[in-house]
Structure 1
């Protein structure tokens, strides 16, 4: 079932606060998909999902190469229950935005993310929420 961010069910919202991982799909410069497991946070009020990573990681490079609004998707699944967040992403090392991502990550996973010297945040403006059994 497809839902907009405004239609996120309470069950789906609760599902996205569990300390779980998701499959993060970005597009390589040649257009092929790159899928990797990540930890992330979702702020439904702002319509933003955030993934912290290294600037040199393939996912960050794919988003950066995709221009100012690279298409991406995050899918968190547990058996036959899942939520996919689709949208456009940007990579930033802005200290305030990075601090907010780290704060939210720490709250969700009850520990801070790794802090490599080239830490960045991929911010995803969520345009569509897809879910099943939530």
Structure 2
């Protein structure tokens, strides 16, 4: 079921606020999918999803390899009969204020603050498609 990226159904939005492990799918340079578990935050007003990670991760390498404009990705979560997928163009951001903002959002959703990591970056996903049922 398609959702409005900036104004999703209340149940769908609530689902993105619950504490659920998600997956991030990036594409390797050879076009094959790379799927890993991650924590994701979603800000519909900005049509933005965020994933904090280490700058040396494969997911970051895959996005950077896609070129300066970023790479197409999908994040997904499922719980029972509820599921949600966000798709969009991902870029890697290293600015301290953007990373700190993403860490704060992660801490709010997952109810824990990650340990400091000088190699942390944020993958920002400009969401252009939202699917699912919350």
Contact 2:83 2:132 in 1 (8 A): yes
State TM-score, norm by structure 1. Answer: 0.94
Superposition misfits of 4+ residues, deviation over 3 angstroms: none
Name the Cα RMSD after superposition: 1.1
Matches within 5 A, 1:1-134: 1-67=1-67, 68-132=69-133, 134=134
Equivalences, count: 133
Deviations 1:61-97 (A, max 9, x none): 1111112231000001002210100000000111111
State TM-score, norm by structure 2. Answer: 0.94
Contact 1:52 1:113 in 2 (8 A): no
Unpaired runs of 5+ residues, structure 2, are none
Cα distance 1:114–1:65, how it changes in 2: closer, same or farther (>3 A)?
farther
SS of aligned partner of 2:76: strand
